[in-house]
Structure 1
């Protein structure tokens, strides 16, 4: 960490650690482990993280023995994972990796219909004796679903996060037209407004689907790592935000 009053937060949809389809698909989880370490973030919010997948485990010889969240956690970090979706061959969900002590965590189902299993992960982290609340989200593909999920998020925050507590809401919002920004502003959640912080699709980014919104912290910067090593690992690029505590 560069400075005691700077908090560095990353969000990254890792596409379940696998890129490509069918017989040409390749395992990227080992490269993602190196990449997460390079982000040098105090808090890393991850989406599309596999707990297990029996078919892929048989297909790939080097499939890690650990669940992906634990495998990706750099040395000295705590990993918190909760399942959003249970599928025929396994489970996947959101995760948070923290350089700082984790004081508690919980999960809430925010699925809007039976075809998309979605959830939010709420983690409390102790940064220099200050309790920071972090919510990791992966919102739905349908615009109406996303609006209803933000309404659910609002009710969750009202219920679980003290009004004066610093709050971070990060993840894949699937928000192509920035419709949710105004709704989140109504919750006093804002982000650093960087031009062209595009994260999707990774190879030729055209939209910012990934965001880090905060309340009670000062946004300082927003950065998207680019280049071939990044677009080979996932269909999203990571987003790195820095805040003053």
Structure 2
């Protein structure tokens, strides 16, 4: 990797459990993330701590899921704690081969029973990374989208290179249109293939839920990663792209 070329990947890891019969598949996830050769990885539904699982599951990692998945491959990582409960918490994470200049977690919760946030990190060349996981309800997503746009307009320099990735739950593409129009973004899979990728459910993808939005990058390649090896460990497919920085 150079400071201008990146392979980026986004995946909702389903808290480390396979769909169907409930079994922990974190080692399987780590194996496939490594095999992807991604330099920057955006993850959603990452468990920071869960005392019940730690006590009951022999394979539960000693460290957080983020640290377990990053291991020695991604030396730099950030975690945003969003959903907090008595026995633990989970949220978004970014794994990076390049160091963070700064990072912050921004609350984006608009309904009492749905705790959400935007994880915002900045790396070299002023590249801004935002990992997001929007809510399940249309009104909730609309408020979160407006909050995200306002936050970016206030904190990210105009025209600065930016990647927004994650699980948007935006099957109607309402947020998709708003982000493109308001922030001058392009969506990687749409640029390469003419439409957003269907990524959910993984066993038979029908809904375009996961996205890779970019500003200040050219896109060489983008693919939905599916098949037996991937769909065994999440209810979402992964989305991956090769991009080159064109502004900074």
TM-score band by shorter chain is over 0.9
CA distance in 2, matches of 1:10, 1:196: 15
1:237 aligns with 2:234: no
- Secondary structure at 1:27 match in 2: coil
Q: TM-score, normalised by structure 1?
A: 0.93
Cα pair distance change 1:4/1:84, threshold 3 Å: closer
The answer to whether the 8 A contact 1:9-1:241 is kept is yes
1:175 aligns with 2:188: no
5+ unaligned residues in a row in structure 1: which ranges?
none
Q: Which residue of 2 aligns with 1:106?
A: 104
CA distance in 1, matches of 2:49, 2:123: 26
Q: Which residue of 1 aligns with 2:87?
A: 89
Q: Deviations over 1:74-103 (max 9, x none)?
A: 424212111011023210000000011111
5+ unaligned residues in a row in structure 2: which ranges?
none
CA distance in 2, matches of 1:91, 1:112: 18
The answer to whether the 8 A contact 2:161-2:216 is kept is yes
Cα pair distance change 1:216/1:146, threshold 3 Å: same
CA distance in 1, matches of 2:35, 2:51: 29
Query: Per-residue deviation at 1:19?
Result: 2.3
1:140 aligns with 2:139: no
Cα pair distance change 1:80/1:4, threshold 3 Å: closer
Question: What is the CA RMSD across the aligned residues, in angstroms?
Answer: 1.5
1:188 aligns with 2:181: no
CA distance in 2, matches of 1:5, 1:92: 31
CA distance in 1, matches of 2:101, 2:177: 31
Query: Per-residue deviation at 1:214?
Result: 1.0
Q: Which residue of 1 aligns with 2:48?
A: 51
CA distance in 2, matches of 1:228, 1:76: 24
- 1:30 aligned to 2, 17, 27, which one? 27
CA distance in 1, matches of 2:179, 2:14: 25
CA distance in 1, matches of 2:153, 2:107: 16
The answer to whether the 8 A contact 1:37-1:74 is kept is no
- 2:145 aligned to 150, 153, 160, which one? 150
Q: Which residue of 2 aligns with 1:62?
A: 59
Q: Tell me how many residue pairs correspond in the alignment.
A: 239
- Secondary structure at 1:16 match in 2: helix
Deviation >3 Å, runs of 4+: none
Q: Deviations over 1:19-65 (max 9, x none)?
A: 247xx410011111111111211110000000011111122111110
- Secondary structure at 1:224 match in 2: strand
Query: Per-residue deviation at 1:221?
Result: 2.2
| Higher mean C-alpha displacement, 226-235 vs 115-124 | 226-235
